[in-house]
Amino acid sequence: MIDQIQPAQLQDWIAAHSAHGTTVVLDVREPWEVQTACVSAQGFELLAIPMNTVPMRLQDLNRDQPIACLCHHGGRSMQVAAFLAQQGFAHVANIAGGIHAWSSQLDHTVPTY
């Protein structure tokens, strides 16, 4: 099962999984989207890998490390989170609402698009 977490719940999810290493927020949006609006890494490692390249870049991810997936509204990141879980990744979450929710819940300086 994939954890569905709101952006405001991310720090609690990170704390709950801290025994497994530093959490990675995996931004699966396209490069132009990341340039338009990006989160600041606070208590996590930020890694941008576009959704369509995730299968080819699995070696860049640690199966035991906590990974919270992020996209624009949460759809693409949910697909990637499910894919990672199928590939044996142990601690995976989807950031529900994506960067749009991040902007409205956590950081109003992050642009919406």
With respect to residue 59, please indicate whether it lies within any of the assigned structural domains.
Answer: yes
pTM metric for this prediction: 0.96
Domain count, the chain: 1
Residue 72's nearest CA partner among 106, 40, 101, 35 is: 101
Q: What is the length of the chain?
A: 113
Of 31-35, 52-56, 66-70, 107-111, the one with minimum mean pLDDT is: 107-111
> Which CATH number goes with the domain that contains 91?
3.40.250.10
Residue 42: the pLDDT is 87
Residue 41: the pLDDT is 84
With respect to residue 51, please indicate whether it lies within any of the assigned structural domains.
Answer: yes
With respect to residue 29, please indicate whether it lies within any of the assigned structural domains.
Answer: yes
Question: Which residues are identified as catalytic?
Answer: 71
- Coil, strand or helix at 46: strand
With respect to residue 8, please indicate whether it lies within any of the assigned structural domains.
Answer: yes
What domain range includes position 92?
Answer: 3-105
